[in-house]
């Protein structure tokens, strides 16, 4: 290993104690301005870079937070990370990013990684295949804080930053209904994930409110990805032609993209033959051949709020646990059937 300067070396160089060097480096009080400057100058000259490992060990605090995202390539998440990053940067926290690839086992692995690095807190959006909340609880018992975002776990004492999924889903479904559609299918997420359940609920409630009977064949689990949306839509198109739905509510935009592909493949048109709406306002949504009507989730905002809340929890034991709701926005484009 190359030359790594330590506090001791600086101290020896100047003939002072290690504590004096430490104090100067950390802007502590009770040190003469002249001494501080001398130390700082020498540290810089010698190319000193603080060893956070050692510092964290003795302070039992890392000034670091971890993030677990299910899929870094979905435009929603980088945008969230951007928001998180802005807050951590401003508050002098460091950030460790991990990735579950929508896989429960990898999510647990990621959380263990973060825990073993003794981060002060973790931001999580749960993986598609996540089933148990045991790991989250274990982490919290260790004294680490968790704030969920978008895909939350409730009633385990962690805060959560999200949009009103059920209402939003209700609203976008009603929007379709307002055009006269009654044969409406839902491509759902797994109900073990919060947004899978809540968006399904909103969908069902909208039908009920408008006296539309629920056709069980019209609820197909697609998961959150494009390929899942594609195969779920295929399954629907396997129904006899006269049973085909006239409109689709997809659990999110990527699933909607996959469904659109399946629809186009059988020679049907969006929205003329089948209308479709999504959720999240992916970066690609407005660029689609049939621009996608969707519920915008302000990703940057969500990241920012989640990071802020987490830091508050870390810095104040008594910070209240709460659901923080961010406004969503219905973005009407062409895919839902009307275009001005």
Partner DNA sequence: TATATAAATGTTAACGTTAACATGAATTTA
Partner DNA sequence: TAAATTCATGTTAACGTTAACATTTATATA
Q: Does 26 bind DNA (CB under 7 A)?
A: yes
Q: Does 72 bind DNA (CB under 7 A)?
A: no
My answer on whether omega of the bond before 271 falls inside 30° of 0, hence cis, is: yes
CB of 144 to its own copies, least distance (A): 8
Q: Which of DNA, its own copies, none does residue 133 bind to, with CB < 5 to 8 Å depending on kind?
A: none
Q: Does 31 bind DNA (CB under 7 A)?
A: yes
Q: Does 131 bind its own copies (CB under 8 A)?
A: no
Q: Does 8 bind its own copies (CB under 8 A)?
A: no
Q: Which of DNA, its own copies, none does residue 261 bind to, with CB < 5 to 8 Å depending on kind?
A: none
Q: Does 9 bind its own copies (CB under 8 A)?
A: no
Query: What number of residues does the chain have?
Result: 340
CB of 177 to its own copies, least distance (A): 29
Going by C-alpha positions, the residue among 129, 174, 201, 222 that lies closest to residue 332 is 174
Pairing of β 329-331 and β 294-296:
antiparallel
- Two structure tokens written together for 126: 């749960």
Q: Does 143 bind its own copies (CB under 8 A)?
A: yes
CB of 126 to its own copies, least distance (A): 18
Tokens 């004096």, residue located: 20
Distance CA 290, CA 271 (A): 7
Q: Does 138 bind DNA (CB under 7 A)?
A: no
| CB burial readout 115-146, b (16+ within 10 A) else e | beebbbbbbbbbbbbbeeeebbeebbeeebbb
Q: Does 296 bind its own copies (CB under 8 A)?
A: no
Q: How buried is 234 (Cβ within 10 angstroms: 0-12 exposed, 13-18 middle, 19+ buried)?
A: middle
Q: Does 132 bind DNA (CB under 7 A)?
A: no
Which SS3 state, helix, strand or coil, does residue 49 take? coil
**44 vs 242, beta carbon nearer its own copies:** 44
Residue 328 near residue 163 (C-beta atoms within 8 A)? yes
Q: Which contacts qualify for 263-272: CB closer than 8 Å, 24 or more apart?
A: 263/233, 263/237, 264/289, 266/237, 270/335, 271/334, 271/335, 271/336, 271/337
**19 vs 90, beta carbon nearer DNA:** 19
Q: Which of residues 218-247 bind DNA (CB under 7 A)?
A: none
- Contacts with DNA, residue ranges (CB under 7 A): 4, 6-8, 15-20, 22-23, 25-26, 29-32, 35, 50-51, 54-55, 57-60
| List of residues contacting its own copies (CB under 8 A) | 1-4, 47, 49-54, 56-57, 60, 62, 64, 72-73, 75, 77-79, 81-82, 85, 89, 94-99, 101, 106, 109, 112-113, 115-118, 138, 140-144, 283-284, 287-289
């Amino acid at each position: 290993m190359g030359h790594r300067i330590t506090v001791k070396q600086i101290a020896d160089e100047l003939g002072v104690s290690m504590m004096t060097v430490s104090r100067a480096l950390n802007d502590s009080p009770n040190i003469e301005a002249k001494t501080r400057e001398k130390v700082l100058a020498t540290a810089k000259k010698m190319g000193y870079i603080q060893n956070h490992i050692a510092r964290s060990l003795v302070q039992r605090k890392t000034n670091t937070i971890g993030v677990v995202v299910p899929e870094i390539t979905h435009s929603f998440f980088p945008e969230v990370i951007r928001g998180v990053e802005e807050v951590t940067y401003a508050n002098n926290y460091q950030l460790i990013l991990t990735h579950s690839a929508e896989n429960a086992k990898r999510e647990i692995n990621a959380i263990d990684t973060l825990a073993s690095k003794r981060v002060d807190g973790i931001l999580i959006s749960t993986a598609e295949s996540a089933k148990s909340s045991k790991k989250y609880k274990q982490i919290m018992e260790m004294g680490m804080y968790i704030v969920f975002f978008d895909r939350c776990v409730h009633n385990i004492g962690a805060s959560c930053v999200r949009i009103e999924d059920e209402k939003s889903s209700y609203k976008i479904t009603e929007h379709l209904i307002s055009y006269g559609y009654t044969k409406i299918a839902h491509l759902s997420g797994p109900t073990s994930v919060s947004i899978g359940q809540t968006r399904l609920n909103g969908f069902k409630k909208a039908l009920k409110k408008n006296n539309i009977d629920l056709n069980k064949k019209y609820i197909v689990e697609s998961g959150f990805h494009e390929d899942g949306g594609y195969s779920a839509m295929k399954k629907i198109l396997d129904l006899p032609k006269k049973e085909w739905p006239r409109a689709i509510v997809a659990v999110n935009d990527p699933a909607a993209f996959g469904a659109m592909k399946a629809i186009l493949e059988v020679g049907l048109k969006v929205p003329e033959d089948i209308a479709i709406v999504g959720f999240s306002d992916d970066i690609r949504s407005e660029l689609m051949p049939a621009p996608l009507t969707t519920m915008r989730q302000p990703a940057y905002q969500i990241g920012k709020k989640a990071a802020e809340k987490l830091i508050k929890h870390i810095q104040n034991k008594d910070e209240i646990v709460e659901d923080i709701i961010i406004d969503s926005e219905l973005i009407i484009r062409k895919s839902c059937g009307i275009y001005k």
